[in-house]
C-alpha cells in the first residue's frame, strides 16, 4: 500500500530483457533507507519487489524483476536507460496519509493529450481507457505515474484512441485534467511530461469497492447475516 506522495525521482540505470520478462535496475538514494530485499517500492505507480540492493558505491540503487504481464499492462515496458521514474516506498502503519490509498496496481495506461502552462500552474489533460473512466469524478483522486492527484474535471472523448493491455480501443475512454503546482513539477517526473507520453493510471480503490457492492445489490453477506 502507498499514498501517492512521490519521495524521489530515480533513473533507469539498466533494463535487461529476456524472453518477454525483464530485470530493471533503478539508480536512487532516498528510497533505499530502511529498505530490504523483498520490500515493495512503487516505480511510476507500479508496485515492484526489491530483488537486489546496492546502497553503496558510485551509483546506489535497487533491482526488480518485471514479468511479461507487467511490461504489457503498464508503461514500464517502454522504459529505456536514462528514463526518469517516480519512486515511493510502501506505507508504514505510523506514516501520514498525505495523498490517498494507492495499491500500486496499474489499472490501465493513459496518454497525455494536452499541456497548458500559466504562471504557477501546469494543466495536463490525460486520456483514461474505458475501464478507468467510470471512476473519475471532479475533485476525486486518481494516481498518475504513482502520484496522487486531484481530478479537476473529466469529460467523455469517444474519438480518442487509447492503448491498453488489450490493444487499441475507442469504446468509452475519457479525458481528465489535473493541475500541477511548481513543487509537484520539481519533485516528480511531471516537469518532463509532454503530449504523447504514456502514463500509468490507478483508479481510487474505494470507488471500486463501492461499485462492487452496488452491483451485488443492497443485501451483502454481512447485512444478510444481521437480518437472519
Do 207 and 118 have their domain in common? yes
Domain extent, residue 73, equals: 8-89
Q: Does the pLDDT of residue 224 top 60, yes or no?
A: no
Average pLDDT over residues 85-92: 95
Do 156 and 60 have their domain in common? no
* Per-residue three-class SS string for 112-138: EEEEEEECCEEEEEEEECCCCHHHCCC
In this prediction, residue 99 has a pLDDT band, given cuts at 50, 70 and 90, of confident
Do 73 and 139 have their domain in common? no
The predicted pLDDT at position 137 comes to 92
CA 204 – CA 101 distance, rounded (Å): 7
CA 46 – CA 65 distance, rounded (Å): 12
The predicted pLDDT at position 92 comes to 86
Q: What predicted TM-score, i.e. pTM, was given to this entire model?
A: 0.85
Convert the pLDDT of each residue in 162-200 to its tens digit. 434 444 444 478 999 999 999 999 999 999 999 999 999
Q: Which of 62, 89, 116 represents a domain boundary (last residue)?
A: 89
Contact indicator for 76, 66 with CB cutoff of 8 Å: yes
Look up residue 224 and give its three cell numbers.
444478510
Amino acid at each position: 500500500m502507498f499514498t501517492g506522495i512521490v519521495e524521489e525521482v530515480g533513473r533507469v540505470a539498466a533494463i535487461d530483457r529476456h524472453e518477454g520478462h525483464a530485470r530493471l535496475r533503478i539508480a536512487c538514494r532516498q528510497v533505499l533507507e530502511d529498505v530490504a530485499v523483498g520490500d515493495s517500492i512503487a516505480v511510476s505507480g507500479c508496485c515492484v519487489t526489491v530483488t537486489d540492493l546496492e546502497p553503496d558505491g558510485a551509483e546506489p540503487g535497487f533491482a526488480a524483476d518485471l514479468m511479461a504481464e507487467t511490461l504489457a499492462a503498464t508503461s514500464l515496458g517502454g522504459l529505456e536507460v536514462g528514463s526518469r521514474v517516480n519512486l515511493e516506498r510502501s506505507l508504514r502503519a505510523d506514516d501520514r496519509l498525505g495523498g490517498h490509498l494507492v495499491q500500486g496496481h496499474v489499472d490501465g495506461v493513459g496518454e497525455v493529450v494536452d499541456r497548458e502552462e500559466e504562471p504557477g500552474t501546469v494543466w495536463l489533460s490525460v486520456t483514461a481507457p474505458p475501464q478507468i473512466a467510470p471512476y473519475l469524478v471532479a475533485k476525486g483522486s486518481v494516481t498518475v505515474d504513482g502520484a496522487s492527484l486531484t481530478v479537476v474535471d473529466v469529460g467523455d472523448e469517444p474519438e480518442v484512441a487509447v492503448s491498453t493491455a488489450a490493444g487499441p480501443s475507442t469504446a468509452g475512454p475519457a479525458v481528465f485534467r489535473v493541475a500541477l503546482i511548481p513543487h509537484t513539477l520539481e519533485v516528480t517526473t511531471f516537469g518532463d511530461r509532454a503530449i504523447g507520453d504514456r502514463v500509468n493510471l490507478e483508479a481510487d480503490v474505494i470507488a471500486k469497492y463501492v461499485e462492487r457492492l452496488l452491483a451485488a445489490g443492497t443485501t451483502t453477506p454481512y447485512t444478510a447475516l444481521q437480518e437472519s
